[in-house]
Each structure stands twice: as structure tokens, then as C-alpha cells.
Structure 1
């Protein structure tokens, strides 16, 4: 097979995909408030586009669970109930501690290095105050551990929680200093992985995820 020294053409996003990304980022950045009622018309006007791509994007966001329909009024950002937060944290602790138990006997230096590189990228995102990039990298860090452990069914469950976990993560990052704490907690988990210390790694992961829950409570209690 002949290999040419050319750069592959990047796929151009459709208007619907651009609209979807813009609304999703607005939700995660808090630019659309949780108690704010929006409509497809308002979104189309704000984005300076027609209603067709907005309607299609909204359909996907409703499926993703990021928006909910308010009868006879419009749409609003999905609000995660205290019970749902508890369930998400419970599932994540169960899945991710199991992933650590499975991966520790087989984790490689290259995999450890990759986790450290993700943390360094998180540090850059923190310096740039890029919360969306920070959360994306946070989720990548956690999913990589499950991937390395080859716990693919558990990984699928974690992926299904992805957007709801992002909503929780963005709420948690509203707490002053939480980004720095997350980086330090991730580093501690990696150190325990490198030392092959199962008990310490699982304990640190559980504390890390519970700290996210506590951070949300602090922010909401303001």
C-alpha cells in the first residue's frame, strides 16, 4: 500500500452538529441557567440560524438527558435530583474501584505515563480556566482506567453516565480550588497504581468521587 505524505481532510461539521455543540457547551458553562426556560425560537435567534438544525440538536440533547421539555412553555436544563446524584456516585464508585482492582496487577509503565500526561493536560486547562476541557480530560482519565482493565461492559455503563457526570462535574468545579484538588487526587491515585497498592488506590478513588459530591453540596449551600 502506497503511503502519501499528506494530511487527512478533517470532516466539516454540519450546522446541526455545530448547534448541538454550542448548546451543550452553554449548558456545561452555566450560560443557560437551570431555572431558565428556553425555546427553539430563542435558540435559533441567539445562534443566528434557522430552526431546523436547532430542532434536530434539541432532539439529541433531550435524548442525552441534558434538556427536558416543559409542557406548554419550552425547554430547560436537566436538573439532577439529590437521589440521582447519590446513584451516579454510587455507580461510579462501584465501577471504578472494581476497575482499579482488575488493572493493578497488569498495568504497564506506558499506561501510567499516559495517565500522568492526561493530568498535565488538566493542569494546562486549569491555568487557562477552561472548565470544559478540564472536565473532558477528567472523564478521559477515569475511562482510561476502565479501558486498561478491559472491563468493557462496565465501561459502557460509565459511558452512559457520561453527560450526567459532566453536569455534576461542572457543578463541583464551581467550588473555589476544586480544580487543584482534582489534580492532586488524580496524582495520588496514579501513585497508588504505580505502587500496585490495591487498598490505597480504591480508597483514594472512593474519596475522590465522594469529594465531588461534597463540593456540589458546598456550592449549592451558598
Structure 2
């Protein structure tokens, strides 16, 4: 601590960061209709800011794969095709089943507790009907398993798929009661890991991701 007892300066967010955060939240919450065309002009008016932070935010969200640019028209929320959804689920099942298989015999009490802590936060988010936070924690749960299993290449691929899996997560959580189902399915995976039973953990993970795939496919 400084002898003058000075406190760190709190950095305020820039206009670009505020626009980016708000726009990304709207996309992931499904607040922007799929066929809605958004433009720099319309957003700068809505946010009451200049077009520069809007342009920068749109460029970043396009790079992340959440928006697509239509020449001379504007931007739309990117739709994930059925084929892409199948590929994402296939990759996740392959990577994450290997992760729990490697982790189950070696998992520590500290790692189990950390995963239970994430689960507790998910329960709190579900009680508050905080869908976006629940999606963040869902991804954290899966990413942490890969991290604990030291599957670093798989973890990198998972992170690269992050925004697309978040969109899938949002679509899945549109089903009433799905947040609570996800928590139960996560708990079953964790119980398999806690018992150090790799087959149970792998089967529960496969069941969880298969349910997610089924729910997403049934959403129109």
C-alpha cells in the first residue's frame, strides 16, 4: 500500500467498449431478430455516439463471427447452419470426452471443488433467470475440464469455437427449463469425475451434449 494511502484509479470504459458490450449482449440474448439489418447510422443514433466506436465494434463482432456484413446494406446477426451445429457438437463430444477420460483417474479435491463452485454460480444465475451469465458459466465449466485434463490443443479449439458455442447455448436455453436441465447434467458429469469413473463421466458428457443438440435442432 502507498504511504499516501492512494487508491487505484478506476478506468472508465470507452465509447467503443460500451457499444461493443451492449451490442454483443443483445446478440447473445437474441434481442436482435435474425433478419434485422443494422447499420452504423442507425446504431450511432440509438447509442447517441459518433459512428467511429460503432464502426469499430461492428468490425470486431464480425471478426468474432457474430455478425455478417452485407455489401452496401449493413450487418446481420450470423445464423449458424445445421451443418455447422453438427460439426461443433461432433468436435465438442470428441474433445471433451477425451478430456474427462484423461482427467477422471487424476482429478484432485481442489479441482472437484472448483467445478462445484462453477456449478453453484450456475444455480444462482438460473434462479436470477440470468441467461447470459449462465451461458458464460456453462462454457467455463467445459473449458475448465479441458484445462484440468491438460488438453491444451483441445482447449484452444474450444476457445476458437467460443462465440459459436455461446450462440448455440443461447438457442438451447430458449427452451423453458433447459437451464435447470443443464445444471443437473453438469452435476452428473461432475459426480462421475468425483467417483473417478471415466466411463460414467464420458457417458454423462455425451448425454449432455446430445440433449443440447436435440434442443437446438427443434428450435425454429
Q: Same fold (TM over 0.5)?
A: yes
| Residue aligned with 2:13, SS | coil
For 1:6 and 1:169, how far apart are their aligned partners in 2?
43
1:7: Cα distance to partner?
Answer: 6.0
Q: Hey, what does 1:31 align to over in structure 2?
A: 31
Q: Hey, what does 1:96 align to over in structure 2?
A: 96
- Structure 1: state its 5+ residue gaps: none
1:88-142 deviations in Å (ceiling 9; x for gaps)? 0001111111111111121111111111111111111111111010000100000
Q: Hey, what does 1:50 align to over in structure 2?
A: 50
Q: Hey, what does 1:159 align to over in structure 2?
A: 159
| Residue aligned with 1:75, SS | strand
Q: Hey, what does 1:129 align to over in structure 2?
A: 129
1:54: Cα distance to partner?
Answer: 0.5
Cα 1:127–1:91 shift into 2, 3 Å: same
1:72: Cα distance to partner?
Answer: 2.3
Cα 1:89–1:52 shift into 2, 3 Å: same
Cα 1:194–1:72 shift into 2, 3 Å: same
Matched, 1:15 2:15: yes
| Residue aligned with 1:31, SS | coil
* Paired residues of 1:100 and 1:198 also in contact (CA < 8 A): yes
For 1:10 and 1:132, how far apart are their aligned partners in 2?
25
Using the size of structure 1 for normalisation, the TM-score is 0.94
For 2:149 and 2:72, how far apart are their aligned partners in 1?
47
For 1:203 and 1:41, how far apart are their aligned partners in 2?
50
**Length, aligned pairs only:** 219
C-alpha RMSD over aligned residues = 1.5
For 1:6 and 1:121, how far apart are their aligned partners in 2?
33
Cα 1:138–1:9 shift into 2, 3 Å: farther
* Paired residues of 2:66 and 2:164 also in contact (CA < 8 A): yes
For 2:12 and 2:111, how far apart are their aligned partners in 1?
32
1:45-71 deviations in Å (ceiling 9; x for gaps)? 111111100000111001000000112
Q: Hey, what does 1:170 align to over in structure 2?
A: 170
